């Protein structure tokens, strides 16, 4: 069913894991402590490496600063390499200090804004030491009430702050700007949608791109259209994959709506974004509040792989013919045939042929790893405070 051309593409697929997925998480009502939770960034990397070992899909780990702050990033980089993974995207954080109550890169107070800019300079310095390519910026900036802030003035200050950060990047480094239409600000956010992110990054230059978090859209939004448009414009820098049922709940990607994930990945395939030189980075941005974290991450990368395989099964030339002939039902059937194809058996065979477990989730359960970390690690951390 799955031919070698599809397997060839799948063999190059890489999905970056977020270090914070391995920490304890929850909601504002309760953060559940889970046995075996990493106590240090090094232990988060160990867990991430386990996911990669069992799936062959997750060769890098995104860090969050200051959550993953260490004294010596060169040693951390080596530690990751020894585990068989690389350090990936550096995520800045201007959303948890009192200082940033009324904004960070958009703040009216020059000294607060400078602190936020300086934090990004620090992140860029870390990127030089870790060898990371991308600086990912997600801002909690926004307001809760009409009139609270000057929406337009905030855009201008954001543009100026981003300019200063962008100009500090090394030649091989990129900036990706994530958008989110609400939360924690409830009236307006300063980067609410792909259009705002696109406008801001386009003003900066070639190495500034949009980050699309699949959980950051209003219900009913056609996310695959945004993917198609950003790819068409050459401005899709990265994905934060997760699922949402109602809002930004960072659930396992593909859990809420596998068909939506398929449609997104179809546009990824259609837009050439799986090609090695496409410049599109694929990351998870998830939390595991009630399920075990390592198998949660394994399930997640497998979901992406499975839907990528199905998207690759769409018969592109037949689809074009049907579209050009105005064959509405025929065209739709071609897409649905691919979506309904169960690729799990083929993928299991393929994994086995590459020395990977047929069923990585089961292999993890049988490995004894969970019991070992539960015994060894006492007092694991909440996602976030790693330092």
Binding footprint of ligand AOS on the chain (CB under 6 A): 20, 91, 138, 178, 180, 213, 240, 248, 285
Residue 270 C-beta: closest distance to ligand AOS, Å: 25
The residue to which tokens 């949402």 are assigned: 244
Count of residues that interact with Zn ion, criterion CB under 5 A: 4
Site residues for Zn ion, 221-240, by CB under 5 A, read: 240
User: Helices 41-55 & 293-312, crossing angle to 10 degrees?
Assistant: 40
Q: Which does 43 bind (CB under 5 to 8 A by kind): ligand AOS, Zn ion, none?
A: none
Residue 358: how many CB atoms within 10 A of its CB? 15
- 273/383 with CB nearer ligand AOS: 383
Q: Which does 364 bind (CB under 5 to 8 A by kind): ligand AOS, Zn ion, none?
A: none
Residue 61 C-beta: closest distance to Zn ion, Å: 15
Residue 199 C-beta: closest distance to Zn ion, Å: 19
- 139/268 with CB nearer ligand AOS: 139
Q: Which does 20 bind (CB under 5 to 8 A by kind): Zn ion, ligand AOS, none?
A: ligand AOS
Residue 181 C-beta: closest distance to ligand AOS, Å: 11
Burial of 86 (0-12, 13-18, 19+ CB in 10 A): middle
- 10/62 with CB nearer ligand AOS: 62
Which residue's CB comes closest to ligand AOS?
A: 138
What mask of x and - would describe binding to Zn ion in positions 267 to 306, judged by CB under 5 A? ------------------x---------------------
Determine contact, residues 18/283, Cβ cutoff 8 Å.
Answer: yes
Determine contact, residues 38/377, Cβ cutoff 8 Å.
Answer: yes
Tokens of 273: 């974004």
Residue 136 C-beta: closest distance to Zn ion, Å: 8
State the greatest distance between any 2 C-alpha atoms of the chain, in Å, as a whole number.
64
What mask of x and - would describe binding to Zn ion in positions 238 to 267, judged by CB under 5 A? --x-------x-------------------
Determine contact, residues 22/48, Cβ cutoff 8 Å.
Answer: yes
- 97/248 with CB nearer Zn ion: 248
User: Helices 258-270 & 293-312, crossing angle to 10 degrees?
Assistant: 50
**Which residue among 16, 43, 213, 292 contacts Zn ion (CB under 5 A)?**
213
Q: Is 134 in the site for Zn ion (CB under 5 A)?
A: no
- Rounded to whole angstroms, how far apart are CA atoms 89 and 43? 18
- 102/182 with CB nearer ligand AOS: 182
Name the DSSP class of 68. T
- 141/285 with CB nearer Zn ion: 285
Residue 62 C-beta: closest distance to ligand AOS, Å: 9
Q: Is 193 in the site for Zn ion (CB under 5 A)?
A: no
Return all residues near 354 (Cβ < 8 A) that are at least 6 apart: 11, 56
Return all residues near 111 (Cβ < 8 A) that are at least 6 apart: none
- Rounded to whole angstroms, how far apart are CA atoms 199 and 300? 31
Residue 137 C-beta: closest distance to ligand AOS, Å: 9
Q: Is 47 in the site for Zn ion (CB under 5 A)?
A: no
Residue 109 C-beta: closest distance to ligand AOS, Å: 23
Distance between first and last Cα of the chain: 48
Nearest to 283 by CA among 61, 23, 67: 61
Task: List, as one string, the DSSP characters of 192-222.
Answer: -SHHHHHHHHHHH-TTEEEEEETTSS-TT--
Residue 225: how many CB atoms within 10 A of its CB? 13
Residue 40 C-beta: closest distance to Zn ion, Å: 23
Determine contact, residues 32/290, Cβ cutoff 8 Å.
Answer: yes
Q: Is 327 in the site for Zn ion (CB under 5 A)?
A: no
- 16/213 with CB nearer Zn ion: 213
Tokens of 200: 């801001």
Q: Which does 91 bind (CB under 5 to 8 A by kind): Zn ion, ligand AOS, none?
A: ligand AOS
Residue 244: how many CB atoms within 10 A of its CB? 18
Residue ranges binding Zn ion (CB under 5 A): 213, 240, 248, 285
């Amino acid at each position: 069913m799955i031919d070698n051309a599809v397997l060839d593409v799948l063999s190059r697929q890489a999905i970056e894991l977020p270090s914070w997925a391995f920490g304890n998480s929850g909601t504002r009502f309760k953060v559940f402590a889970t046995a075996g939770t990493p106590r240090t960034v090094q232990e988060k990397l160990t867990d991430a490496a386990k996911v990669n070992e069992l799936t062959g899909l997750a060769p890098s780990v995104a860090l969050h600063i200051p959550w993953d702050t260490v004294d010596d990033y060169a040693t951390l980089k080596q530690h990751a390499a020894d585990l068989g993974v690389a350090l990936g995207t550096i995520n800045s954080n201007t959303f948890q200090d009192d200082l940033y109550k009324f904004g960070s890169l958009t703040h009216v107070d020059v000294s607060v804004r400078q602190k936020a800019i300086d934090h990004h300079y620090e992140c860029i310095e870390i990127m030089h030491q870790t060898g990371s390519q991308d600086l990912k910026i997600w801002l909690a900036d926004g307001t809760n009430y009409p009139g609270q802030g000057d929406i337009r003035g905030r855009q201008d200050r954001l543009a100026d702050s981003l300019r200063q950060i962008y100009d500090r990047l090394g030649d091989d480094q990129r900036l990706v700007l994530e958008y989110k239409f609400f939360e924690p600000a409830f009236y307006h956010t300063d980067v609410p949608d792909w259009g705002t992110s696109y406008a801001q990054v386009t003003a900066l230059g070639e190495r500034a791109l949009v980050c699309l978090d699949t959980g950051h859209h209003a219900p009913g939004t056609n996310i695959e259209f945004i993917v198609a448009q950003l790819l068409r414009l050459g401005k899709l820098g990265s994905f934060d994959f997760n699922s949402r049922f109602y809002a930004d709940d960072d659930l396992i990607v593909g859990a809420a709506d596998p068909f939506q994930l398929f449609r997104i990945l179809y546009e990824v395939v259609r837009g050439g974004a799986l090609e090695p030189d496409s410049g599109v980075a694929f990351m998870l941005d998830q939390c595991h509040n009630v399920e075990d974290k390592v198998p949660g991450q394994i399930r997640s990368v497998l979901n992406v792989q499975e839907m990528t395989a199905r998207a690759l099964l769409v018969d592109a030339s037949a689809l074009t013919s049907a579209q050009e002939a105005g064959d509405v039902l025929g065209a739709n059937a071609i897409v649905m045939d691919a979506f309904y194809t169960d690729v799990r058996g083929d993928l299991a065979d393929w994994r086995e042929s590459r020395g990977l477990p047929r069923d990585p989730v089961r292999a993890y359960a049988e490995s004894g790893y969970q019991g070992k970390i539960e015994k060894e690690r006492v007092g694991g951390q909440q996602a976030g405070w790693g330092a």
